[in-house]
Amino acid sequence: MQQPVVRVVCAIGQSGQLGLNGGLPWEGNRSPEFVADVARFFDITRGHVLLAGPKTIASIPAFARGDRELVVLRSHMDPEDTLKRFAGRIAFIGGGPPVWDAYARFVSHWDVTRLPYDGPADRWFNPSWLTKGGEVTR
Ligand SMILES: NC(=O)c1ccc[n+]([C@@H]2O[C@H](COP(=O)([O-])OP(=O)(O)OC[C@H]3O[C@@H](n4cnc5c(N)ncnc54)[C@H](OP(=O)(O)O)[C@@H]3O)[C@@H](O)[C@H]2O)c1
């Protein structure tokens, strides 16, 4: 196998909100849906490779750093060559948006939770990521 299985697990607000001021827009919300979403992210990615931009990797809490392989993606890295390093494994592409712009074409499974948040954001989900790499026009 030349490439890993490439997956994404992310959470968005009702309008596609992804991030705000370097964190999650709903940061600090202790309602069950929000707490469960973060727990689910760490459950699903446990034991696998999590590749993401520098800010997203920096936001991974200490408790989650020991039981998954974290890889910082930089814009000078070639996506295909980078993914080849993890052939045979499950690689989660953790964002943020410029990273998904570059890696979406390799993703076989998007797991998007739509949370009950509809406030401000400065990072947004782009639905065109879901079809990136397809070439047929309607
Ligand atoms: N809701 C969610 O599920 C979710 C998930 C992830 C992140 N977020 C949010 O998103 C925000 C962080 O994302 P961010 O985009 O601001 O910062 P980021 O995570 O650091 O990702 C963007 C950076 O990745 C690097 N990069 C790596 N490969 C690249 C490529 N091929 N092309 C372009 N850039 C590439 C670039 O940095 P260099 O040019 O310096 O290499 C770029 O500035 C936070 O608010 C965070 O909470 C939300």
pLDDT-derived band at 131, boundaries 50, 70, 90: very high
Q: What is the pLDDT of residue 108?
A: 98
Euclidean distance between CA atoms 46 and 31, whole angstroms: 23
Mean pLDDT (the chain) is 97
The pTM of this model reads 0.98
Residues with CB under 6 A from ligand 1: 10-11, 18-19, 22-24, 52-56, 59, 73-75, 77, 79, 94-99, 102, 123
Residues 24-55: tens digit of each pLDDT? 999 999 999 999 999 999 999 999 999 999 99
Contact 125, 10 (CB under 8 A): yes
* 138/121: higher pLDDT: 121
- Quote the percentage of the chain above a pLDDT of 70: 99
Q: Would you kindly state where each structural domain of the chain is located, as residue ranges?
A: 5-17+30-131
Helices (H) and strands (E) in the chain, counts: 4, 7
pLDDT-derived band at 107, boundaries 50, 70, 90: very high
- Tell me, in angstroms, the distance from the centre of ligand 1 to residue 57's CA: 9
Q: What is the pLDDT of residue 1?
A: 57
pLDDT-derived band at 138, boundaries 50, 70, 90: confident
Residues 55-69: tens digit of each pLDDT? 999 999 999 999 999
Annotation: CATH topology of 5-17+30-131 = Dihydrofolate Reductase, subunit A (3.40.430)
DSSP secondary structure letters along 26-87: TTT--SHHHHHHHHHHHHHHTTSEEEE-HHHHHTS-GGGSSSSEEEE--TTS-HHHHHHTTT
Mutate to test the pocket of ligand 1, among 56, 72, 106, 117 (most ligand atoms within 8 A of CB): 56
